[in-house]
Amino acid sequence: MVTAKVISIGDEILIGQIVNTNASYINDKLFSIGVQVKKVVTIGDNREDLIHELHDSMQNYDITLITGGLGPTHDDITKPILVEFFNDELVLDEEVLKKVRSIFESRNVLMPETNVGQAMKPSRSKVIWNDNGTAPGIYMEEEGRVFIAMPGVPFEMKAMMENSVLSLLKAKFLQNQEYVLKNKTLLTTGIGESFLFESIGNLDELLKGQKMAFLPSPYGVRLRIDVKTPSTEEADSEISRIEKELYSKVGEYIYGENDDLLEKTVGDLLRNKGLTLATAESCTGGFISQRITDISGSSEYFKGGVISYSNEAKENLINVNKDTLMKYGAVSSETAVEMAVGVRKLMKAEVGISATGIAGPTGATETKPVGLTYIAISIGDKVYSKELFLGDNRHRNRIRAAQAALNMLRKELLLV
Amino acid sequence: MVTAKVISIGDEILIGQIVNTNASYINDKLFSIGVQVKKVVTIGDNREDLIHELHDSMQNYDITLITGGLGPTHDDITKPILVEFFNDELVLDEEVLKKVRSIFESRNVLMPETNVGQAMKPSRSKVIWNDNGTAPGIYMEEEGRVFIAMPGVPFEMKAMMENSVLSLLKAKFLQNQEYVLKNKTLLTTGIGESFLFESIGNLDELLKGQKMAFLPSPYGVRLRIDVKTPSTEEADSEISRIEKELYSKVGEYIYGENDDLLEKTVGDLLRNKGLTLATAESCTGGFISQRITDISGSSEYFKGGVISYSNEAKENLINVNKDTLMKYGAVSSETAVEMAVGVRKLMKAEVGISATGIAGPTGATETKPVGLTYIAISIGDKVYSKELFLGDNRHRNRIRAAQAALNMLRKELLLV
């Protein structure tokens, strides 16, 4: 089995200021292509420690991935130490320099001289392109071992992994493997981990020696199926067998697979059906519209929204009846329904969606607990609402409410 | 300086299934009592790897903290390997056995035989009481080195750290410490890492032997000052000296310190000045209002907002002039200004803020690149806008635009 070590460089991890999410991302990705991460090490911006780790890597691991220590400032040590350790020298990469310059030009500013250093690379290395920043990555092979250095900034590192690193590693190590590893993730929402577990039933019977992980987050629980078989055909058939059973048991909670984004799925449905959307948000405070508009091209189907945080805004802007607010309260099925209808009319959209709830920690009453939330949808001649109890954490409540709203919209659009 | 290594044992970390938050918790606690964590290692449930790490610890670190591998199941390897490595033997601790039994009794269930193993400890070790579970921790001293093993379950480990481990370590190592460690983080936004670096100038002159880290993210760059001095007074005075110089050089970019949240700062300013806010968002699509409303109690000062994603919504809802849209376009200073004024009036708020821009990747024109963004503020008799060039990544653009808007609002509110 191909083995790997991940080295994270950063004092901010060692003093507990940030959590090492880079490592868990990398571990997950390497696992998915069949590389076994045997060790993860975090060290400071410190020459001796990095050299010690490079020695250990030369002796023990096929692949070493390093994150951090690649920016333009003084505490960036990875490149000089790679050069020292492998007896190499730094050379200027003209193409990288050109690219770094153009990034600064596009922002209408002169490139600081410190950034020239980012275009220097070890002479025996290959550059890994950075689509999201100025510090390129480095790929080196020494005596059959592969060393890859990437910046510590998560979104820069992630783009490099997906656009270059994983395919480089597959090409180098995983061409002639005797087994196939495959995985697929089903995305569920609206059901807790233990209920999901119970609904699925006997795991051994389902998995027949394959593996599955339950990965919970405020957005829902992801189910990752991991199979290992002699051939691709068998892998595909095992995955589809397990997937089918999962759909039959908990299908109503599954909203997508792998990297699907609920906001993208909803957007595609709206576009395909030629419908436009408007949002009226209270407790979610813009979370739903923010997710909808995070998708490029959403202006085609998203007309706009209202954050009717005050009763005044609910009445005056989207025409919620004063009596409704008085009689049932701002957090009620009745108000949610009028919000959805009102914003749809105001924005001249074909679909209106609304959310109103008690996000917490304050605002609860004797009959209405923190976490009580109503989502409503208005479409065609139809309008209906759903009542949810989301728990007592404000931040999580808002995430869950927006997620529930988008999923309700997805289900509705599938019926249209 | 007292040095430490943290070893996390767990396959679920190595395959990227969970993030190693235990390590960041431990690092933070050790840092706070003046212990320098020099390395964090994650390994699997594997004898050779743990023995390798114990050797390394004996050679290099005063303290080694191990989490994981202490439960009752087959893959719990820490205890037998400590016994093997230190040539010790397992003995039964009657008091622990009594306690484990009583835990099961209190749940009205018989203790499974596998749990007897939890009452076994290396003969030369001390037991660390577990207030939240059945697996006790282990404290061993060998040749002046301290080894502490704790369960991997976060709340069990945390209670042990706070109730026992930190005081044990202080008593052993930190009675007569000759120095104090302190840190402070300044939060900047609106300036890139390399420009910040250049604006600050000569770091050696500034730091005089102390340390500073640049920690970039899409929200801005955090500057963490770390000082080490003989006394608390000197630590405070060094931090305030460095801080003062940073304020004098890059103060215009600093919006807060340590764990400050910009949306909280803005909210506090609004509340203290008795002002209400309304938002009109185009490119940010709800990001600004979502952040504002993420703060509990924001309904006191946040009236509501409009996501005027379409020109129609800009015209009809917040009264942006059709001619303005025609002549200058939706992404223009003129439109931003009319949006801020319009939403303020619509929501009857004292302050209006707006954002309009080309989030990308599409939508650029010959004169307007992706990332071009206008923020406007309307307050009292005043209205003004700011032009920003934020780069070419849609997701990051939106984060940066919302951050810039909130910071512009913060600065304005300080003047009121």
B14, B203, B305: residue with CB nearest A286? B305
pLDDT at A75: 61
The residue type found at A380 is: G
Which residues are CB-contacts of B282 (< 8 A; sequence separation ≥ 6)?
B307, B308, B309, B314, B330, B331, B339, B354, B355, B356, B357
Both ends of chain B: CA-CA distance in Å? 49
Nearest chain A Cα to B56, which residue?
A52
Q: What is the pTM of this model?
A: 0.78
Whether the CB-CB separation of A270 and A296 falls below 8 Å is answered with no
Asked if A39 and B37 come within 8 Å (Cβ–Cβ), the reply is: no
Write the DSSP symbol of residue B127. E
Q: Which residues of A touch B290 (CB under 8 A)?
A: 284-287, 290, 398
Asked if A289 and B310 come within 8 Å (Cβ–Cβ), the reply is: no
The residue type found at A30 is: L
Cα–Cα distance measured from residue A165 to residue B153, given in angstroms and rounded to the nearest whole number: 33
DSSP B246-260: HHHHHGGGEEEETT-
Asked if B16 and A25 come within 8 Å (Cβ–Cβ), the reply is: yes
pLDDT at A73: 62
**Segments in chain A below pLDDT 50:** none
Cis bond upstream, residue B361 (ω within 30): yes
pLDDT at A72: 64
Could you tell me where the DSSP H helices lie in B284-385?
A: 287-293, 311-318, 322-328, 333-346
Could you tell me which of A312, A391, A308 has the C-alpha nearest to residue A355? Answer: A308
Cis bond upstream, residue A361 (ω within 30): yes
Whether the CB-CB separation of B136 and B104 falls below 8 Å is answered with no
Calculated CA dihedral for residues A341, A343, A346, A350, nearest 10 degrees: -70
pLDDT at A127: 94
pLDDT tens digits for range B138-174 = 999 999 999 999 988 888 899 999 999 999 999 998 7
Give A244: exposed, middle or buried? Use CB within 10 Å, 0-12, 13-18, 19+: exposed
Give the CA distances from residue A237 to residues A182, A232, A234, A241, A298, in Å, rounded to whole numbers and listed in that order.
11, 9, 5, 6, 36
Asked if A112 and B195 come within 8 Å (Cβ–Cβ), the reply is: yes
A25, A281, A361: residue with CB nearest B296? A361
Give the CA distances from residue B80 to residues A256, B83, B90, B219, in Å, rounded to whole numbers and listed in that order.
44, 5, 8, 47
Fold of B180-257: Alpha-Beta Plaits (3.30.70)
Strands (DSSP E) contained in A103-210 are 120-122, 126-128, 137-142, 145-150, 180-188
What b/e readout covers A9-42, taking b as 16+ CB neighbours within 10 angstroms?
Answer: bbbbbbbbbbbbbbbbbbbbbbbbbbbbbbbbbb
Q: Which residues of B touch A71 (CB under 8 A)?
A: 193, 214, 216
- A113 is written with which tokens? 């001289």
Sorted by where each begins, the domain ranges of chain B are: 3-173, 180-257, 262-415
**Segments in chain B below pLDDT 50:** none
**Phi and psi torsions of B320, nearest 5°:** -75, 135
Could you tell me where the DSSP H helices lie in B117-231?
A: 154-160, 166-173, 193-200, 203-207
Cα–Cα distance measured from residue B341 to residue B250, given in angstroms and rounded to the nearest whole number: 31
A112, A284, A310: residue with CB nearest B303? A310
Angle at CA of residue A107, ends A104 and A113, nearest 5°: 25
Could you tell me which of A333, A351, A226 has the C-alpha nearest to residue A277? Answer: A351
Could you tell me which of A186, A241, A233, A185 has the C-alpha nearest to residue A209? Answer: A241
The residue type found at A118 is: Q
Query: What ipTM was assigned to the predicted interfaces of this complex?
Result: 0.78
pLDDT at A74: 56
Could you tell me which of A300, A30, A158 has the C-alpha nearest to residue B396? Answer: A158
Candidates B3, B24, B49, B315, partner chain A, best to mutate (most A CBs within 10 A): B24
Q: Which residues of B touch A17 (CB under 8 A)?
A: 24, 28, 185, 215, 224
Could you tell me which of B280, B288, B324, B93 has the C-alpha nearest to residue A317? Answer: B280
Q: Which helix (H) or strand (E) holds A23?
A: helix A21-32
What number of H helices and E strands is found in chain A? 16, 17
Could you tell me which of B361, B416, B366, B365 has the C-alpha nearest to residue B392? Answer: B361
Angle at CA of residue B37, ends B36 and B38, nearest 5°: 105
- A72 is written with which tokens? 């333009």
Residue A21: CA count within 13 A, CB half-sphere: 8
Q: How far is A194 from chain B (nearest CA, A)?
A: 17
pLDDT tens digits for range A345-364 = 999 999 999 999 999 888 88
Return the bridge partners of B212, or none: B225
pLDDT at B73: 56
Asked if B285 and A279 come within 8 Å (Cβ–Cβ), the reply is: no
A37, A284, A309: residue with CB nearest B299? A309
Could you tell me which of B372, B377, B414, B407 has the C-alpha nearest to residue B390? Answer: B372
pLDDT at A386: 97
CATH code, A3-173: 3.40.980.10
pLDDT at A185: 92
Please state which architecture CATH assigns to domain A262-415.
Answer: Alpha-Beta Complex (3.90)
Both ends of chain A: CA-CA distance in Å? 49
Residue A135: CA count within 13 A, CB half-sphere: 24
